[in-house]
Amino acid sequence: MTQFSRRRVLQGGAAIAAAGLFMPNIARGASPKVVVIGGGFGGATAARHLRLADPGIEVTLVERTKTYQTCPFSNLVLGGMKTMDQITHTYDRLPSRGIKVAHGEVVAVDADKRTVRFADGATLPYDRLLLSPGVDLRYDGLPGYSEAAAEKMPHAWKAGPQTMLLKKQLEAMPDGGTVIIVAPDNPFRCPPGPYERAAMIAHYLKNNKPKSKVLILDAKDRFSKQGLFEQAWAAEYPGMIQWIGKQDGGKAKSVDAAAMTVETEFGKEKGAVINVIPPQKAGKLALTAGVAAESGWCPVDFETFESKLIKGIHVVGDACVAAPMPKSATAATAQARVAAYAIADMLRDRKPGAPSLSNTCYSMISPDYGISITGVYNAFPDGLKEVGGGVTPMNASKDDHKLEATYAYAWYAGVTYEAFA
Amino acid sequence: MRRTTVISVAVAVIALAGTAAAQSPTAAPPAPAATPAPAPAAAPPPPKPPATETTPANIRLIAGNCLVCHSESASAAGGMPILAGQDAKVIAAAFREFRDGKRHGTIMPRISKGYDDGVVDAVSAYLSKTK
């Protein structure tokens, strides 16, 4: 089944070898090998499309964990609209798509020899490497915050135990308490996420602890879908959610996990529950591979999502620098498809073209109230540019907000199906 | 495996569609020759449609974006129309209506602003051949 591509692959391998970059396995007659590390939306979707692009490519998806809890809809778990089980996915069905799944932790990448090394010493060769490292939290980005402090002031910015911790804290807090959300400056994973979270927490509180409030202390002056969120909060949770931007003193200067306080320039705010969403950077894997720049994020070429720092390594998803695309699951999957088909082209010595990408982010306000932002992006020589899209119109009808909530569920079903089913 | 075969066929079909599209200057906006020069007080003209490649590779990528929400699994969860296998003319007409403000929608009127007619026709043809 690989005969059709073998010759082209050989030519491609020869060309690359001639350039002195590496001695490819494909030159020895084996199938080209692509290793994908990181089994989130970017990695899992890329693995699928690499196989669709060329069944002759041997694709191995490397992931540390056996299950994956999605950040999308994890706020709905806080709001009581979804269970953790409903946002938990496995890699069990990927082998039926011809994807090899390897569970393990990659501790080193040798870009010259084109191998990755696991914690147990085993190595895996690749012709092209695709990383979807996600984000790591910068615990050094906010004085007083740390991995230990996160056990008292959860970030819940990676879905899983942290989400459940925050949920349990909400369930344990007294009625009349204040839930503080500390929101970071840009760029960070899921720009509308803190504000959807405020709505979902308010949804829980409205039904269970109606005298309680949500206070968002923000390190920036504007946020994604701001007008829509403010309109929606007022409509669904009147008087319950207060947002304080940077110019009004909302930026957290430090946190104190023992005292359960957040310090701003106007003093200390005490919270019954404090959700600290710290600044972020590309996941550690990006650092391991050497594809993260000083900014902490990974610069890439937008036609291929190949690293601008190390050839042969592609980076998709939240870890890469793809502004104006937001760091979202949908964006990661669009980037994953671009990277997958580009890699298939490059392995056949064909030049990829200029791609079109798109993004859709739904935010849930209540079970019947959704809002969204969309964007269409084309790759130009000087970067990605938004050529279409926009946010839900202000003052959209109740019916439209209900439809958007319905479509949010459809989106979730579709995007998780493509990645994991 | 079967899916891959089907998609290969679809790609071949789109290669033709892409060629056809490439023969007409679809990436360019309609010729403004008949339009008189705008008066100084007139509103600025709408922004020029973006130059989107109509290569088979890019049409496949764009269709991939559509199919995240317009898939069978998504449709089962949220009543979303399934696009794969639909009549290309029907898909293209609906898309143009969204884009041109003739049809009410939620996110489609916004997304559709990013694609010109050549892309719409080629993506619609691709989707109609997709299983």
Test mutation, B2, B4, B6, B110, chain A, max A CBs within 10 A? B110
**pLDDT, tens only, A129-161:** 999 999 999 999 999 999 999 999 999 999 999
Which pLDDT score, from 0 to 100, does residue B75 have? 85
C-alpha–C-alpha distance, residues A87 and A420, integer Å: 12
Which pLDDT score, from 0 to 100, does residue B78 have? 85
Which residue has 């969403």 as its token pair?
Answer: A277
Q: Is the Cβ of B44 closer than 8 Å to some Cβ of chain A?
A: no
Span B110-130, average pLDDT: 96
**Two structure tokens written together for B28:** 């360019």
**Vertex A165 angle, CA A159 and A169, to 5°:** 135
> Per-residue confidence at B46, pLDDT binned at 50, 70, 90?
low
Q: Which H or E run includes A193?
A: helix A193-208
Q: Which H or E run includes B5?
A: helix B2-23
**pLDDT, tens only, A47-88:** 999 999 999 999 999 999 999 999 999 999 999 999 999 999
Q: Is residue B8 predicted with pLDDT exceeding 60?
A: no
**pLDDT, tens only, A284-313:** 999 999 999 999 999 999 999 999 999 999
Verify whether the Cβ–Cβ distance B69 to A354 is below 8 Å: no
**pLDDT, tens only, A265-280:** 999 999 999 999 999 9
In sequence order, the 6+-apart residues with CB closer than 8 A to the CB of A227 are A394
Helix H segments across A319-396?
329-347
Verify whether the Cβ–Cβ distance A390 to B3 is below 8 Å: no
Q: Is residue A13 predicted with pLDDT exceeding 80?
A: no
Q: Which position has the higher pLDDT, A13 or A84?
A: A84
**pLDDT, tens only, A324-382:** 999 999 999 999 999 999 999 999 999 998 999 999 999 999 999 999 999 999 998 88
**Two structure tokens written together for A394:** 């202000």
Which pLDDT score, from 0 to 100, does residue A296 have? 98
C-alpha–C-alpha distance, residues A387 and B77, integer Å: 29
**Two structure tokens written together for A55:** 């069944």
Which pLDDT score, from 0 to 100, does residue B74 have? 86
Which pLDDT score, from 0 to 100, does residue A333 have? 98
**pLDDT, tens only, B56-106:** 999 999 999 999 999 888 888 888 999 999 999 999 999 999 999 999 999
Domain ranges, ordered by start, for chain B? 2-25+53-128
Which pLDDT score, from 0 to 100, does residue A397 have? 97
Residues of chain B in contact with residue A407, where contact means CB-CB under 8 angstroms, are: 69, 78, 80, 106-107
CATH number of the domain at A3-64+104-136+281-351, out of 3.50.50.60, 3.40.50.300, 3.40.50.1820, 3.40.50.620? Answer: 3.50.50.60
Q: Is residue A19 predicted with pLDDT exceeding 80?
A: no
Distance from CA of B57 to the nearest CA of A (A): 7
Test mutation, A348, A358, A404, chain B, max B CBs within 10 A? A358
Q: Is A148 exposed, middle or buried (0-12, 13-18, 19+ CB in 10 A)?
A: exposed
Query: Does the structural domain B2-25+53-128 have CATH classification 1.10.760.10?
Result: yes
For B113, the closest chain A residue by CA position comes to A388
**Two structure tokens written together for A340:** 């997958």
Q: If you average pLDDT over every residue of chain B, what do you get?
A: 74
Q: Which position has the higher pLDDT, B3 or A189?
A: A189
Q: Are A338 and A53 in contact (CB under 8 A)?
A: no
Which pLDDT score, from 0 to 100, does residue A28 have? 43
Distance from CA of B117 to the nearest CA of A (A): 14
Verify whether the Cβ–Cβ distance B80 to A337 is below 8 Å: no
Give the one of B7, B111, B113 whose C-beta lies nearest to A52's C-beta.
B7
Which pLDDT score, from 0 to 100, does residue A66 have? 97
Verify whether the Cβ–Cβ distance B79 to A372 is below 8 Å: no
Residues of chain A in contact with residue B131, where contact means CB-CB under 8 angstroms, are: none
**pLDDT, tens only, A384-399:** 999 999 999 999 999 9
> Per-residue confidence at A29, pLDDT binned at 50, 70, 90?
low
What number of C-beta contacts closer than 8 Å exist between A and B?
Answer: 134
Which pLDDT score, from 0 to 100, does residue A27 have? 46
Q: Is the Cβ of B4 closer than 8 Å to some Cβ of chain A?
A: yes
Distances A117 to A2, A290, A344, B75 between C-alpha atoms, Å: 28, 14, 24, 41
C-alpha–C-alpha distance, residues B127 and B59, integer Å: 10
Give the one of B60, B62, B68 whose C-beta lies nearest to A414's C-beta.
B68
C-alpha–C-alpha distance, residues A264 and A255, integer Å: 9
Q: Are A354 and A341 in contact (CB under 8 A)?
A: no
C-alpha–C-alpha distance, residues A152 and A256, integer Å: 10
The residues that bridge with B107 in the sheet, in sequence order, are none
> Per-residue confidence at B3, pLDDT binned at 50, 70, 90?
very low
Residues of chain B in contact with residue A413, where contact means CB-CB under 8 angstroms, are: 73-74, 76-78
Span A26-31, average pLDDT: 60
> Per-residue confidence at B45, pLDDT binned at 50, 70, 90?
low
Verify whether the Cβ–Cβ distance B110 to A356 is below 8 Å: no
CATH architecture of the domain with range A142-279 = 3-Layer(bba) Sandwich (3.50)
Distance from CA of A382 to the nearest CA of B (A): 14
Q: What one-character DSSP code corresponds to residue A328?
A: -
For A355, the closest chain B residue by CA position comes to B58
Concatenated DSSP letters of A6-26: HHHHHHHHHHHHHTTS---GG
Which residue has 């494909």 as its token pair?
Answer: A26
Domain ranges, ordered by start, for chain A? 3-64+104-136+281-351, 142-279
**pLDDT, tens only, A326-342:** 999 999 999 999 999 99
**Percent of chain A at pLDDT exceeding 90:** 91
The residues that bridge with A280 in the sheet, in sequence order, are A137
> Per-residue confidence at A111, pLDDT binned at 50, 70, 90?
very high
Span A120-133, average pLDDT: 97
